[in-house]
Chain A
Amino acid sequence: MRRYFGRKLLIYMLTFFLAVTIDWLIPRFMPGNPVQTLLGRADLHAEAAEVMYGYYTRAFGLDVSIWQQYLNFWKALFHGDLGTSVFLFPMPVLEAIKNAIPYDIFLLLPAILLSWFAGNKFGAFAARRKWLDNTVLPLGYILTATPYMWLGLLLAWALGIVLDVFPISGAYSYAMVPSFSWAFIKSLLTHWFLPFASIFMVKFGGWAIGMRNMIIYELEADYSHYLEALGAPRKLIRKYAFRNAILPQITGLALDLGVIVAGALATEIVFSYPGIGYLILQAIQNQDYFLLQGCFLFIIIGVLLANFAIDIAYVLVDPRTRMGMQGEAA
């Protein structure tokens, strides 16, 4: 068992190392002096540019050998010093990201988990009725095929503008100061609902289809036939089939995280919801590459951690893999 986790951990460390290296390499690939190109494009007035240039040359350490730069980069990384954001000048990149993270978690966590749970439950339920099966399948395919941001746009336009039921931008109404008053929380939730709904619906379709196919496969499995032959009630058979069909969906969740995060970025931009996605948009618009690289690192860390957590959960839930590891005999 330990060997299995050791191996998994090794792969994740390797992945993280590779990702960070890519993150460090990319600017160096770009032609010309990276700092010059960056600052040149940002329309800063003279002496601010001067200060910034000095700072970044040192940060990039262009005078030092490549290898030394690489080490400095890692050292800085561990100190949490990701450089200073260009367009939010005094604020270090880490600071900006720290402000954005809570919103991201507040949006992503419920969206992913709820859609996963509801999608699977609905997929299992749909496999039972023929007419439901014929409606779920096409609807599910259309939902998964919808680009996140477009669904966001649709919801924003339909519910936000036309019916004006939900606000469509920002995390809470600008007039309010963050406090624990009921009014603020209400505003927080109403702003949160539309982005949540758009991510939720797209992923809901995906999980529903996945579960429907898996559960039909499990219902055709030998153990289901055996239980039927012994007169077990449909409820018990479906319970077993659901438990076995949910396992691959767990790994599916892990593998799909990368895609969900990407979708979330786009949705945040539609609703200018102040998560990392929106931060990235602003970073791009203001040519602030250090903020961009910082966001990149946080996305990587988040996805890797989640993947590792899901891997552990999977081993605990699925006895076959646990047994498979112990029973390593011939």
Chain B
Amino acid sequence: MTKQKKKSEILYFALRNNRLRVGLAVVLFFLVLTFVGPLFTEYSPDDYVGPSAQPPSPEYWFGTTTFGQDVFTQFVLGLKATFLVGVVGGGLGTLIGVLVGFIAGYQGGIVDEILNTLTNIVLVIPTLAILLIIAAYLEVRGILTESIFIGCTAWPWAARAIRAQTFSLRSRDFVDLARMSGMKPRKIIFTEIAPNMMSYLFMTFILQFGGAILIAATLDFIGLGPTRGISLGLMMNNAVLWSALHLGMWWWFIPPGVAITAIVGALYVMNVGLDEVFNPKLREM
């Protein structure tokens, strides 16, 4: 009974925040495209469906590649891969970040010192370089393995943010009050501290989601993408390898870039909108 009032209040402000609405609309559009898209095309990404290097036409909405593959099919399936990387990579990154951040923030002392140093180290190392080496050595690379690697190296940002947030919440009196009510530390973290950070966790996830997509696209572009299947980064890589530029086949490399930029950009804008919604100071005004 106590939570409804708070939830409806947040919802009320969320719906009126246009940054959030725009961001959400763009992301949902691409999400729908991911599910609906494959219905419109019966080819698979690598099939040779028609004459090569065709500009977009009613027959091939996004035209065809130098090998006559249907760009639209590649685009739609590439989208699926991108979202998968975002969810798995971003999700894993947030999860590890939350765990490290929570434990370091709540425990404090030596535990915090060690975890914090670890976070700083992983933060400083250019994680892409590590991914490079790992991916290069792997014989078979699937979308899943790539996402897991990205997740395992993208968590420091989340860990730092959540650690700071936990620190500030831990020193609040209501945590002491909970301890004086005989609650065990684990219960305190999940019933007292975590709910306060729900908005924070969600925003961290959005940033991780966007970050994962960008890293994945870069990896695929360098040629370390999934050996089987297709992804937006891989499309761009192929486009460059087969000199789509010189042949003026803009329809091959423009759509994937637009999709990535739109999704990640929409996520960032959503994040700003959410910040305004969840920030009580702004709401109280």
In the complex the two chains form, is B137's CB within 8 Å of A147's CB?
A: no
Q: Are A146 and B261 in contact (CB under 8 A)?
A: yes
B278 at interface by CB-CB < 8 Å: no
In the complex, are the beta carbons of A11 and B121 less than 8 A apart? yes
B223 beta carbon closer than 8 Å to chain A: yes
Q: Is the CB of B257 within 8 A of A145?
A: no
Which B residues between 224 and 267 are near A, CB-CB below 8 angstroms? 224, 233, 236, 239-240, 245-246, 248, 250, 253-254, 256-257, 260-265, 267
Q: Most A CB atoms within 10 A — which of B130, B137, B239, B269? A: B137
Given contacts A142-B265, A261-B126, contact A153 B257 (CB under 8 A): yes
Answer whether residue B198 sits at the interface, using C-beta atoms and an 8 A cutoff.
no
The residues in A between 265 and 320 inclusive whose CB is less than 8 angstroms from any CB of B are: 265-266, 269-270, 277, 280-281, 283-285, 289, 292-293, 295-296, 299-300, 303-304, 307
Does B218 touch A at the CB level, under 8 Å? yes
Chain A residue numbers with a CB within 8 Å of B120 are 11
B222 contacts A by Cβ under 8 Å: yes
A51 contacts the other chain (Cβ, under 8 Å)?
Answer: no
- Interface size in chain A (residues, C-beta < 8 A): 58
Residues of chain A within 8 A of B239, CB atoms compared? 153
Complex Cα spacing A157 to B251, Å: 11
Q: How far is the CA of A15 from the CA of B132 in the complex (A)?
A: 18
The reply to whether B265 and A258 form a contact with Cβ atoms under 8 Å apart is no
Binds A, one of B92-100, B101-109, B180-188, B209-217: B209-217
B130 adjacent to A153 (CB under 8 Å) = no
The answer to whether B175 has its CB under 8 Å from any CB of chain A is: no
For chain A residues 1-50, which have a beta carbon within 8 Å of chain B? Answer: 11-12, 14-15, 18-19, 22-23, 26-27, 29-30
Judged by a CB distance under 8 angstroms, whether A154 is at the interface is yes
Among B137, B250, B268, which residue has its beta carbon within 8 angstroms of that of A26?
B137
Q: Is residue A138 within 8 Å, beta carbon to beta carbon, of the partner chain?
A: yes
Asked if B126 contacts A299 (CB within 8 A), the reply is: yes
Indicate if the CB atoms of B218 and A284 lie closer than 8 Å: no
Interface status of B125 (Cβ within 8 A of chain A): yes
Given contacts A258-B128, A265-B218, A266-B222, contact A145 B137 (CB under 8 A): no
Alpha-carbon separation in the docked complex, A15 to B120 (Å): 9
Indicate if B110 sits at the interface (CB-CB under 8 A). no
Q: B1 within 8 Å of A by Cβ?
A: no
Q: Which residues of A contact B11 (CB under 8 A)?
A: none
Chain B proximity mask over A45-78: 1 for CB below 8 Å, otherwise 0? 0000000000000000000000000000000000
Size class of the contact patch on chain B: 35 or more
Are the C-beta atoms of A303 and B124 separated by less than 8 Å? yes
Nearest A-chain residue to B218, judged by Cβ: A266
B133 CB-CB contact with A under 8 Å? yes
Question: For the complex, is A224 an interface residue (Cβ under 8 Å from B)?
Answer: no
In the assembled complex, which residues on chain A have CB atoms less than 8 Å from the CB atom of B132? 280, 292, 296
* CB–CB A145/B133 < 8 A: no
B126 touches A293 (CB 8 A): no
A251-265 residues with Cβ-Cβ distance < 8 A to B are: 255, 257-259, 261-263, 265
A128 CB to nearest chain B CB (Å):
19
| Inter-chain contacts of A258 with B (CB < 8 A) | 123-128
The 5 tightest CB contacts between A and B, nearest first, are: A150-B257, A145-B265, A258-B126, A262-B128, A145-B264
17 extra A-B contacts, CB within 8 A, seeds A157-B250, A295-B129: A18-B121, A22-B130, A26-B133, A138-B269, A146-B261, A147-B257, A150-B256, A161-B245, A168-B245, A258-B125, A258-B128, A265-B222, A280-B222, A296-B130, A299-B126, A299-B129, A303-B126
